[in-house]
Structure 1
């Protein structure tokens, strides 16, 4: 029974010692983690809807009547006094202080015990192409194998055991906030979980199929099987409006694992293969992940095979985690009831990074989960706007899970002054249209959301004496307060611009068009400080704090693409200086205030725009050097595998896409930040804005040539740009694409 090593995936020779290092898979609704211990294995079942109610007060303080007073204190005494007053007044009104969102929690822990103490030839693996997890080993020359996947067709976790004797049991969770009742009858384990502080809960059903003999007790099932045994596991959440689930056979007796897997595999493989990065050989791909990572550390550089696997791992994370909802901080996986930052949806950078490559990887199914989540949170986003600022429209919370109410703030973390969150979320609504050309979505989803955000701005923004808008209060994410944070202005500018463009695309008349144009013109201009750097706050006397992991003020560079070196060279230069200051003080500073994978990813995304290939490679190297990966290649938030967190996984494929081929301002940038260590390679299937697809892009730096093919669903004209190869021989620097007519290019560098 040979363990077939994954060509696209990872394998290792040791079981997991902690949940963060488990094998992972998922289908966008269910997730699974497999430790792979032959003696006492642990399978953790996850579901995207499981957030444990904590019984916290969810009442927002009615602070809108005090907004004028807060602004007066900001103007006369400064932000420190204003924050203190705001917090004191809110607690007088019943606010309980900084409140974590309800935490993401595991659905079940299933234990599988054997007497296989003296095992050998151990391997465990993840196949990114299929979503299948495998564990294999030998005992007394007898081969054993366990296989797992999360079915795209049956919406269940499927696990197969080799013939043998097994003792399976469900962990009894001990938590005052949840009650568990487990019943075992014949070949079914049924556990009911009721939340203490809500009328919700969930059921777990585990069905055993194929065993010759089953011996059940109140606590376990003993399996004796001469042929493979299948475990089918399903989590079914319920709420006050739904009823408890009733068991019906999830899988019919006699069905084989192979048949179940093939139906699932067709769907998963199709999604995974929509884009493909090829940097190495199959011989290299089949090496163990431990050897590959060790080699990269020893050589102090990223290797093509490791980068390819990091890229594949990022897309695999998204396929597994996005569907019913969007990935949370931990994707769709957790093994603890106390995850960092509740393992929730964190909207001040993390969610945005986790979906960064979704559109360019053509993962439209996953984006539906993102839009669904926002729609579910909209009513509470409206309440945030009304209660805090007396405004119509929406204000996004920074942390959300069961609730979108903004309760996560205090004097030390004045996150309630960060008002651009909804506008940042709206970036992907308009981008979805740009990638797909879906005018129905643009009209029915994007425009209504953009309008809600503009309503908030109408009521929130005040004018200076010269008629210029002022954002007050204002906050640059986790880096301090001052009026007119640059990101606030950049996001508002993008929202208003996209709203007007959307109306133009649809030829929609609106009596509000003149008002939106006037609002856009009233936004304050960006400012440049004495260092020549783009300022993070447009407030006189507010000093820059370059030593910080957030890159909020560079939003016009890495996200909205508002300007470049051609459209606004002065501002582009200032943004580059601001970026360099951040690199010196934070990213490349050994004494920086903290490590952060999301900060490194934003650094890399900026580096692709500033055409800094050495920095892109340095970011990749920092992730490896500082142990920011688990065996699965899922990432950690901090160095040394501290805090399981997948936003870096979501962003890394986008970094790769942008360093190879990028599009903005009618300009197609090729190899704009390609590290010199990646001498040759090929990428297929990348999607670009304006409904374009890169059928393939091949490069060979040794032979100094590029070959590529482009497809477009609409007619458009674009220009070729090779910033790292100014002497390149480009026969057609400017050309027109016609609908569904391939355009081939061959370029000598």
Structure 2
């Protein structure tokens, strides 16, 4: 009997592990109709098909019975933009705009609100906004595989994706015959691979390659399909090639004149796909890859390795990354398909699966490609996708990379660094030509893969994004303490700061503000000037980010022992930045003027960026600002889009309200998810997936506070505080850090916002700032143990159950075990 119980427990454990990583369905995804292709708002394939990817090359499979549709993406394939211009024009900047910059600023200084002629928006649009097309991320190619199986004859159909191994599969029966498919997208070998096999039957397939773009040639010869095409650009079409090789053993393969391969009476069919564009991240040409030779060599190498070797290398690669971090809640699996699990409503099983799936999506759409994940990550089937599937710098691009640090996928950050190097090179031209600023670089609201950094076409969307983008850049150092990396990115950080140092200008009270700017994407004085009255000066979010950037640059210059004069100048500027203010309703003011409305429920809450992902508002160190942030959160309410729900999850975690954070994560997983668990903005945006999981990590571990007073026993005396209250006012002045900030230990706050819905559980492999990895277990809502492993020589303090520890110092690979008292 005891042996039987042990077996039962083991089986239950295996089922639960599978449930944590497995997306399952009992029917195929909806086919991609022409209407859906032309209108991203129509649900279907993109919301149901399952994604594969290696960071550059992506695929989705429908699992269709009579016909399988494999949609392919290459993250470098854009269209309707320009490349290869001269260095200045390639940035997108309006040539000579700087000559009218002060004229534009005069509209701000004289507070010309609204959108009429002469207003801040109108002047920005007329004199500063780019006249170049941004273009859009584009679908790549498709593969259609016809089986001629009758769906009405099929039984025992299953379609699944194992997020731990990165293997997709389809299984079904027709009578006594069993049919099986496998799909994966290999990072080690840069190919998409499929396998069709049968028991008690043979397979007849028709394999066709196509593209929504212009096909310049399509040839079927022997076992090989080769498709060449080009994506329309304003001046220089993107060239690409896809190669599809079919191995059917001894079965007959026929190549026809329509560019199709026919397979007859096979038992086992393996399909290999290689594909590339001519894109290279070389500013300003953005071309030069020998895509045809690369496609040929990559395919040849894959064929020499064979299916089993490719699959084994792929599984080892994906599972090793997935195994770096594991979130485990206690629940009994409901044994539902994933679509039914979502329809069933909130559950711990769904919350656990969502966490693991988001990590899979992250490593699938961002590895070492030349450009980072976009609004849709890697996957897009529309020639005109929502919001161009571009790079939005007013939250979305940054949010895509929050979880790579905490959820232990740091290798996924490489494309972000690559992109920022291009942006900094392009942005120096925008800084000079748009604003007349000789030092540093600037980035506007929207970006593409061709170095577009210019101000947006709409003047109401004027934004400088360098500080926001650099926040992630420095955070990557904070988590790793890798000085070689910091040396590499330091010129980007410094360049962003140099731009702001010159761009800041005194306002009415003499404090320094950023303008033109806005508070994404909100309006003010709506009754007087309309809902498009968005342009402003000194928006709180950008002032907070400027402080964040300047502080990071000070630390970086100390760590690298360089630029002492630059550092000193930053220190003098910081206290001159316009203060953060608490307004008439007790809220954090969104603008320097008290324009906030308590009935404003806008999805953006950018003026709390110092709470998250910043570090300068905290319940432990700034009680007045925290209380004001709570008022702001109450005003904004609980109604949210996908990414906004994710951000609110993080906000509430940083406010140490686990149940409220869980409420939003629960809503995100059950009400803001399509059947394939893609985030439902609506429509699809992947930042919700990534931001939500970042929020889970924040519920379990926070490490953004620094101990600058290591002798202090109370955290409010120990931690660095970025703002100090101006006596007898509601103003909080930015504070210059002391040089000891560079060596100040990070404070690890264990289970800062554990929800009551998660009474028992564990997490392993969370990353903390300071070069640390942390495993945590808890029971009955209380910490039982934390294991802290140093990934470099480091020091830290622990804050748990209201108590602050001494400073602990560890050498690389040493472990500190902390148990609840």
Secondary structure at 2:77 match in 1 = coil
Query: Given the superposition, is the C-alpha separation of residues 400 and 225 from structure 1 closer, same or farther in structure 2, using an over 3 Å criterion?
Result: farther
Please list, as runs of the form range in 1=range in 2, the aligned pairs for 1:612-691 lying within 5 A after superposition: 612-626=657-671, 628-638=672-682, 643-666=683-706, 667-691=747-771
Secondary structure at 1:512 match in 2 = helix
Counterpart in the other structure of 2:107: 73
Q: Confirm or deny that 1:27 pairs with 2:54.
A: yes
Please list, as runs of the form range in 1=range in 2, the aligned pairs for 1:192-203 lying within 5 A after superposition: 192-197=228-233, 198-203=236-241
2:787 to 709, 712, 728: 709
Q: What residue ranges of structure 1 are gaps of 5+ in the alignment? A: 589-594
Is the contact made by 1:110 and 1:168 (CA closer than 8 Å) also made in structure 2?
A: no
Secondary structure at 1:260 match in 2 = helix
TM-superposed CA distance for 1:179, in Å, is: 4.1
Counterpart in the other structure of 1:228: 268
Question: What per-residue deviation string (whole Å, max 9, x for no partner) do you get for residues 109-144 of structure 1?
Answer: 111111210211100001001111001111122000
Query: Given the superposition, is the C-alpha separation of residues 474 and 95 from structure 1 closer, same or farther in structure 2, using an over 3 Å criterion?
Result: closer
Q: Distance in 1 between matches of 2:410 and 2:264?
A: 44
Counterpart in the other structure of 1:601: 646
Q: Which moved more, 1:464-473 or 1:367-376?
A: 464-473
Query: Given the superposition, is the C-alpha separation of residues 387 and 286 from structure 1 closer, same or farther in structure 2, using an over 3 Å criterion?
Result: farther
Counterpart in the other structure of 1:14: 27
Counterpart in the other structure of 2:709: none
Counterpart in the other structure of 2:397: 351
Question: What per-residue deviation string (whole Å, max 9, x for no partner) do you get for residues 638-667 of structure 1?
Answer: 2xxxx2211011112211111112123243
Q: Confirm or deny that 1:365 pairs with 2:411.
A: yes
2:484 to 440, 443, 453: 440
Is the contact made by 2:702 and 2:768 (CA closer than 8 Å) also made in structure 1?
A: yes
Q: Distance in 1 between matches of 2:118 and 2:203?
A: 64
Counterpart in the other structure of 2:817: 744
Query: Given the superposition, is the C-alpha separation of residues 174 and 688 from structure 1 closer, same or farther in structure 2, using an over 3 Å criterion?
Result: closer
Secondary structure at 2:404 match in 1 = coil
Is the contact made by 2:121 and 2:535 (CA closer than 8 Å) also made in structure 1?
A: no
Q: Distance in 2 between matches of 1:496 and 1:202?
A: 43
TM-superposed CA distance for 1:307, in Å, is: 0.7
Q: Confirm or deny that 1:488 pairs with 2:542.
A: yes
Secondary structure at 2:412 match in 1 = helix
Q: Confirm or deny that 1:452 pairs with 2:495.
A: yes
Question: What per-residue deviation string (whole Å, max 9, x for no partner) do you get for residues 133-178 of structure 1?
Answer: 0011111220001100011221000011114333334354455xx4
Counterpart in the other structure of 2:33: none
Q: Distance in 2 between matches of 1:455 and 1:256?
A: 53
Is the contact made by 2:69 and 2:145 (CA closer than 8 Å) also made in structure 1?
A: yes
Please list, as runs of the form range in 1=range in 2, the aligned pairs for 1:166-185 lying within 5 A after superposition: 166-175=204-213, 178-185=214-221
Secondary structure at 2:786 match in 1 = strand
Is the contact made by 1:16 and 1:35 (CA closer than 8 Å) also made in structure 2?
A: yes
Please list, as runs of the form range in 1=range in 2, the aligned pairs for 1:277-292 lying within 5 A after superposition: 277-280=327-330, 284=333, 287-292=336-341
TM-superposed CA distance for 1:213, in Å, is: 0.7
TM-superposed CA distance for 1:510, in Å, is: 2.0
Counterpart in the other structure of 1:397: 444
Aligned positions, number: 710
Secondary structure at 2:785 match in 1 = strand
Counterpart in the other structure of 1:326: 372
Q: Which moved more, 1:647-656 or 1:233-242?
A: 233-242
Is the contact made by 1:474 and 1:481 (CA closer than 8 Å) also made in structure 2?
A: yes
Please list, as runs of the form range in 1=range in 2, the aligned pairs for 1:516-531 lying within 5 A after superposition: 516-531=570-585
Q: What residue ranges of structure 2 are gaps of 5+ in the alignment? A: 1-14, 31-43, 84-88, 280-286, 523-533, 707-746
Is the contact made by 2:56 and 2:74 (CA closer than 8 Å) also made in structure 1?
A: yes
Counterpart in the other structure of 1:335: 381
Query: Given the superposition, is the C-alpha separation of residues 617 and 183 from structure 1 closer, same or farther in structure 2, using an over 3 Å criterion?
Result: same
Please list, as runs of the form range in 1=range in 2, the aligned pairs for 1:295-310 lying within 5 A after superposition: 295=344, 297=345, 302-310=346-354
Query: Given the superposition, is the C-alpha separation of residues 100 and 318 from structure 1 closer, same or farther in structure 2, using an over 3 Å criterion?
Result: farther
Q: Distance in 2 between matches of 1:681 and 1:397?
A: 43
Secondary structure at 2:681 match in 1 = strand
Query: Given the superposition, is the C-alpha separation of residues 166 and 397 from structure 1 closer, same or farther in structure 2, using an over 3 Å criterion?
Result: farther
Is the contact made by 1:71 and 1:82 (CA closer than 8 Å) also made in structure 2?
A: no
Is the contact made by 2:584 and 2:594 (CA closer than 8 Å) also made in structure 1?
A: no
Q: Confirm or deny that 1:550 pairs with 2:604.
A: yes
Q: Which moved more, 1:566-575 or 1:322-331?
A: 566-575
Is the contact made by 2:104 and 2:123 (CA closer than 8 Å) also made in structure 1?
A: no
Counterpart in the other structure of 1:216: 255
Is the contact made by 1:173 and 1:180 (CA closer than 8 Å) also made in structure 2?
A: no
CA root-mean-square deviation: 2.7
Counterpart in the other structure of 1:425: 469
1:63 to 76, 94, 97: 97
Query: Given the superposition, is the C-alpha separation of residues 620 and 569 from structure 1 closer, same or farther in structure 2, using an over 3 Å criterion?
Result: closer
Query: Given the superposition, is the C-alpha separation of residues 509 and 242 from structure 1 closer, same or farther in structure 2, using an over 3 Å criterion?
Result: closer
2:506 to 463, 474, 477: 463
Question: What per-residue deviation string (whole Å, max 9, x for no partner) do you get for residues 254-294 of structure 1?
Answer: 8553322001111111111100011136x628642134223
Q: Confirm or deny that 1:111 pairs with 2:144.
A: yes
Is the contact made by 1:711 and 1:737 (CA closer than 8 Å) also made in structure 2?
A: no
